[in-house]
């Protein structure tokens, strides 16, 4: 049983997935941030692999990617840093990134190494459904990794159900067709999430984009299994010298 399946078996609601950019704010600080996220209440860690052209990300996460790249973060460096992480970190950990650097690394090599270090799943927003079905999905499955597709308010019911069928772990419901970090009208988001609920999908649903505090987290969780916070946490990490204290204070503000 995958860690994600186990998690959602034990916890049906208020699941908190926190995104952080690998190699930000310090090249060698990622494991400490991950440990702090587990210690202070996150349920899932979504680890962003920095890329020079992150299509779905807003300015804050783009800037964190640029900083991480200038710090020297690469997929090679990341896998090297993650070699021992399962000794201390037991949460599900997902890698989020884009196809270009993964293809440069070698798709099967990437999946093999991700599985070997203990990664649970992948989010690759620019991997098309057709290529997933005809080429890459079998490789992902071979290495026991979950794969999470994204759906938006504009995704039709038929396509949502197709992507739900292809996804394992959970389905990522983008709160609106915009980049990360933008404020959202949560009345419209609630209507969208109620619509998703009516489809009776097989996967749990986590809501991302625009979730930034206790209020938006709780609003997202009303009609979904949980939510994903990224931009707000990256902002909290800016200019800090103590990532553990910042992480504790940030998670306390969401969960307490």
Whether the model clears a pTM of 0.85, i.e. scores above it, the answer is: yes
Query: Which residues touch 84 (CB under 8 Å, ≥6 apart)?
Result: none
Which of the following is catalytic: 38, 43, 57, 164?
57
Q: What are phi and psi of 135, to 5 degrees?
A: -135, -55
- Please tell me which residue, 191 or 106, carries the higher pLDDT value: 106
How would DSSP label each residue in 47-102?
Answer: EE---S--TT--HHHHHHHHHHHHHT--HHHHHHHHTTGGGT--S-EEEE--HHHH
Which of the following is catalytic: 46, 113, 146, 164?
46
Starting from the edge strand earliest in sequence, which strands make up the sheet with 44-48, in order? 146-147, 121-123, 93-96, 44-48, 15-21, 226-229, 205-208, 171-174, 150-151
Query: How confident is the model at residue 163, as a pLDDT?
Result: 98
pLDDT tens by residue, 127-172: 999 999 999 999 999 999 999 999 999 999 999 999 999 999 999 9
Query: How confident is the model at residue 182, as a pLDDT?
Result: 54
Collect contacts of 134-142 with beta carbons under 8 A, ≥24 apart: 136/107, 137/166, 139/107, 139/108, 139/111, 140/111, 142/111
Cα 59 versus chain centre, distance: 17
Query: How confident is the model at residue 183, as a pLDDT?
Result: 58
Q: Which domain holds residue 231?
A: 3-255
pLDDT above 70: percentage of residues in the chain: 95
Task: Say how far apart CA 63 and CA 68 lie, in whole Å.
Answer: 9
pLDDT at residue 232 is higher than 80: yes
Positive or negative: CA dihedral 97, 7, 87, 237: positive
Query: How confident is the model at residue 60, as a pLDDT?
Result: 92
User: Which H or E run includes 135?
Assistant: none
Query: How confident is the model at residue 180, as a pLDDT?
Result: 55
pLDDT at residue 102 is higher than 60: yes
pLDDT tens by residue, 218-229: 999 999 999 999
Cα 29 versus chain centre, distance: 18
| 190 classed as catalytic | no
Query: How confident is the model at residue 43, as a pLDDT?
Result: 98
Query: How confident is the model at residue 58, as a pLDDT?
Result: 80
Task: Kindly report which listed range (39-43, 170-174, 239-243) carries the lowest average pLDDT score.
Answer: 239-243
Mean pLDDT score across all residues of the chain: 94
pLDDT tens by residue, 52-67: 876 667 889 999 999 9
User: Which H or E run includes 106?
Assistant: none
pLDDT at residue 26 is higher than 70: yes
Query: Which residues touch 47 (CB under 8 Å, ≥6 apart)?
Result: 19, 20, 21, 22, 30, 34, 78, 93, 94, 95, 96
Tokens of residue 110, six digits:
């990437």
pLDDT at residue 179 is higher than 70: no
CATH of the domain at 24: 3.20.20.70
**Number of domains observed in the structure of the chain:** 1
| 191 classed as catalytic | no
């Amino acid at each position: 049983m995958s860690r994600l399946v186990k998690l959602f078996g034990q916890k049906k609601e208020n699941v908190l997935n926190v995104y952080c950019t690998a190699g930000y704010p310090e090249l060698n600080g990622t494991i400490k941030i991950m440990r702090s996220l587990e210690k202070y209440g996150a349920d899932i860690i979504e680890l962003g692999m920095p890329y020079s052209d992150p299509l779905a990300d807003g300015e804050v996460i783009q800037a964190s990617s640029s900083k991480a790249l200038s710090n020297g973060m690469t997929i090679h460096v990341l896998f090297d840093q993650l070699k021992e992480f399962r000794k201390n970190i037991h949460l599900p950990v997902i890698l989020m990134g884009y196809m270009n650097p993964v293809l440069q690394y070698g798709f099967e090599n990437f999946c093999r190494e991700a599985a070997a270090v203990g990664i649970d799943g992948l989010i690759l927003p620019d991997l098309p459904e057709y290529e997933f079905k005809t080429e890459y999905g079998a490789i992902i499955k071979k290495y026991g990794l979950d794969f999470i597709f994204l759906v938006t308010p504009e995704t039709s019911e038929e396509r949502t159900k197709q992507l739900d069928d292809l996804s394992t772990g959970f389905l990522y419901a983008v709160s609106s067709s915009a980049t990360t970090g933008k404020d959202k009208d949560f009345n419209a988001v609630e209507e969208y999430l109620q619509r998703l609920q009516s489809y009776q999908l097989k996967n749990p649903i986590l809501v991302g984009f625009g979730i930034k505090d206790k209020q938006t987290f709780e609003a997202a969780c009303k009609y979904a299994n949980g939510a994903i916070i990224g931009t707000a946490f990256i902002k909290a990490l800016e200019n800090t010298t103590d990532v553990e204290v910042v992480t504790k204070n940030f998670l306390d503000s969401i969960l307490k």
